[in-house]
Amino acid sequence: MSESRRDDAYWRRNLRLVAGLLSIWFVVSFGCGILFVDLLNQVPLGGFKLGFWFAQQGAIYVFIALIFYYAHAMKKLDREFGVEEEEV
Amino acid sequence: MSLTALTYWVVGATFTLYIGIAIWARAGSTKEFYVAGGGVPPIANGMATAADWMSAASFIGMAGLIALSYGGYGGSVFLMGWTGGFVILALLLAPYLRKFGRFTVPEFIGDRFYSDTARIVAVVCLILCSVTYVIGQMKGIGVAFSRFLETDYQTGLFTGMVIVFFYAVLGGMKGITYTQIAQYCVLIMAYTIPAIFISLQLTGNPIPQLGLGSTLLGTDTYLLDRLDQVVTELGFVEYTTSIRGSTLNMVAFTASLMVGTAGLPHVIIRFFTVPRVQDARTSAGWALVFIAILYTTAPAVAAMARLNIVQTLVPAPGESLQIDERPVWFQNWEETGLLVIDDKNRDGAIQYSANPDTNELVKLDNDILVLANPEIAQLPNWVIALVAAGGLAAALSTAAGLLLAIASAISHDLLKSTFMPRITEKQELAASRGAMALAIIGAGYLGLHPPGFAAGTVALAFGLAASSLFPVLMMGIFSRRVTREGAIAGMVAGIGVTLFYVFQHKGIMFIPGTAFLGDTPENWFFGIEPNAFGIIGALLNFVVAIVVSRLSAPPPESVQQLVDNIRTPRGAQRGLVDH
């Protein structure tokens, strides 16, 4: 595979990954925290209403996990396509 | 030792630390001045980014904003908005801008859109949003000094300026990075220690994040259920469901803060300081971990302090606090004017309710919640002194980051790249120090003579960053087709419509009486308040840029190669060396 075709394939895989992670990002914040908050508030989580918990804590925990997952997955993808950085 | 003397000691010790770091971390080259030499480890950069990011508004203001002005749940827009932005920053911007491997945000826009005009428009947008933001920080420094060290506002502001001057002019990004790491440690201790105590006192759980969902000590009632009950009895909206405006407004507000976060230049340039593209990705994760420690503690502080205040004022249902029995912290904060009582019916007690006609707690400033927290929880004086040092650390670290973003845009993008390309590196380094000194003096002047819009500044900065810089940065990476003409038109349209919308409701330059449409929900576009309008500006920026790009000649081959190049990490090391 030529270098530019390989780079294109790498970029498409990256876009798919970003799209997937941003969907989760949208669902936990705008979805669970705002749009469906009333519905989720019917569910108790300890002393929290679940929707309120997502809006004030839960979404933030998921955000952290998303970024670290992305960094991890991209490191693997970089190696798979041989586009990783030289070691410093 | 008196509280004031103790506060002088603690604040003095932290300032000595910052100055010591500044002398140790002197910048010797432009690369050190702009990007700290490009060798900051990702965890260290994450910590510095957290301090850079969390301003006086986050530290002092946010918990009160959530609990009082936004009634509880409504304040979630800040919690999700100011953290969710790091996800888009990490996934859509930071790694690619790091790969680009230069020093400033306008530099990327100028190169990617092959145009000095685009670069200059980006500099103007950067200065607009950074200057509006820095005024708030300077005010925060002055206020924190005057409240805790009993100096006047001006003396406080000057002391803060001298400290920032010292480490920012001397050390540039290198000095700022290492002081920000120290400032993060100070501010996070100052925030969490009182929170742990207050959570222990109310629920017996030392972790505030869990305490918020626990039962009150000695009862089987959940803290949040009790809070909902007491505030609704007083006629306020229920704490856990108080929506801000409408669902659409909450969505727009959250989105504006997220996109604004990802577009703020002083945050973006922090990701130019790490050695590798891979480090830019993980560093954003670390930044969010360090930010989340404060941002998940804040809602607990908000709810617990609100409950404490209500229970102080209303000891039992239907009873009111007698004025001559009020606690000492109450009297202390009355002296500052942030808490005002007015015994309207002259019965010697404070009636507290949501009804403005009979409510006798006529003013309860948002800032009190965090600042008075240690006193409400009856913590020792050293904790109060630590909160003062923490508030100053938060304001100083953000001010320094903003000033660097402004100074580097002037010395690097205006002087070196546009008007005086012949200057040597030594001259550019001198120019960047000069620009930094000027920026500090300018910010100090605005802190002393705040223009009418000082109150609305921080929220406006996010709207401006969201509507101008974020969209063109993203399109510059994700599209090969967006052109010079498209980017310029997009930035001008985005920032223009946002400023127009804010001014039409809040007054031109926020001067009272010049608003031509009242600032009430009926006049808002689909019920979206001015602070939440940045996302609409951003969408317009995208649409205008794409349409204009279709109508103009495609970018030259070299630019398309630049885009291909930044999309893979390979060769990132070379990028920074050949500059």
Number of H helices, E strands in chain A: 4, 2
Q: How confident is the model at residue B521 (pLDDT cuts 50, 70, 90)?
A: low
Q: Say what the pLDDT of residue B337 is.
A: 77
Report angle CA B535, B537, B543 to the nearest 5 degrees. 105
Q: Residue B508: its pLDDT value, please?
A: 58
Mutation target for B interface from A57, A70, A75, A81: give the one with most B CBs within 10 A.
A57
Show me where the domains of chain B are located: 3-309+376-438
In this structure, are strands B321-322 and B349-350 parallel, antiparallel, or unpaired? antiparallel
Asked if B278 and A85 come within 8 Å (Cβ–Cβ), the reply is: yes
Predicted ipTM beyond 0.90: yes
- Predicted confidence at residue B556, as pLDDT, reads 93
- CATH architecture entry for B3-309+376-438: Orthogonal Bundle (1.10)
- Name chain B contacts of A53, Cβ cutoff 8 Å: 213
Tell me, yes or no, if B70 comes closer than 8 A to chain A by beta carbon.
Answer: no
Predicted local distance difference test score (pLDDT) of residue B522: 65
Winning range, highest mean pLDDT, from A70-74, B158-162, B168-172: A70-74
pLDDT at position B367, please?
Answer: 80
How far apart are the C-alpha atoms of B478 and B95, rounded to whole Å?
13
pLDDT of residue A1: 56
CA B150/CA B153 separation, integer angstroms: 9
pLDDT in tens, B323-377: 888 888 888 888 877 788 888 888 888 888 888 888 888 888 888 888 888 888 7
Class of residue B20 by CB neighbours under 10 A (exposed 0-12, middle 13-18, buried 19+): middle
Determine the distance in angstroms separating the CA of B576 from the nearest CA of chain A, rounded to an integer. Answer: 13
Position B375: which residue type? E
Strand partners, B321: B350
Residue B575 has pLDDT above 70, yes or no: no
Model confidence pLDDT, tens digit, residues B80-123: 999 999 999 999 999 999 999 888 899 999 999 999 999 999 99
Task: Read off the pLDDT of each residue in A17-46 and give the average, rounded to a whole number.
Answer: 94
Better pLDDT: A11 or B460: A11
**DSSP summary character for residue B569:** -
How far apart are alpha carbons B272 and B277 in whole angstroms? 9
Contact A29 B91 (CB under 8 A): no
Q: Measuring CA to CA, which residue among B575, B578, B165 is closest to residue B407? A: B165
Whether B450 shows a pLDDT value over 90: the answer reads: no
Are residues B87 and A22, on separate chains, in Cβ contact within 8 Å? yes
> In this complex, is the C-beta atom of B321 within 8 Å of any C-beta atom belonging to chain A?
no
Residue predicted with more confidence, B467 or B419: B467
8-state DSSP, B215: B
Angle between helices B557-566 and B457-478 (to 10 degrees): 110
Q: Are B362 and B371 in contact (CB under 8 A)?
A: no
User: Looking at the predicted structure, is the pLDDT value of residue B43 above 60?
Assistant: yes
**B321 to each of B159, B314, B348, B351, B404, how far by Cα in Å?**
40, 6, 9, 8, 49
Q: What pLDDT does residue B431 have?
A: 84
Across the interface, of B80, B569, B571, the residue whose CB is closest to A33 is B80
The pLDDT value recorded for residue B578 is: 41
Percent of chain B past pLDDT 90, that is, above it, reads 41
B303 confidence band (pLDDT: 50, 70, 90) = very high
**Nearest-by-CA chain B residue for A16:** B91
CB B221 within 8 A of CB B215: yes
Q: Are B287 and B317 in contact (CB under 8 A)?
A: no
On chain B, the residues whose CB falls within 8 A of the CB of A45 are: 213
Domain boundaries along the sequence of chain A: 3-80
**Among candidates A4, A18, A85 on the partner chain, residue whose Cβ is nearest the Cβ of B570:** A85
Banded pLDDT at B579 (limits 50, 70, 90): very low
* Residue A87 predicted with pLDDT over 70: no
pLDDT digits 0-9 by tens, B528-574: 777 788 899 999 999 999 999 999 999 999 999 999 989 988 877 65
| A 7-66 → B contacts, CB under 8 A | 7, 10-11, 14, 18, 21-22, 25, 29-30, 33-35, 37-38, 41, 45-49, 52-53, 55-57, 59-61, 63-64, 66
- Percent of chain B whose predicted confidence (pLDDT) is above 70: 94
In chain A, what is the straight-line distance between the N-terminal and C-terminal CA atoms, in Å?
28
Contact B57, B140 (CB under 8 A): yes
Residue B87 to residue A67, Cβ atoms within 8 A: yes
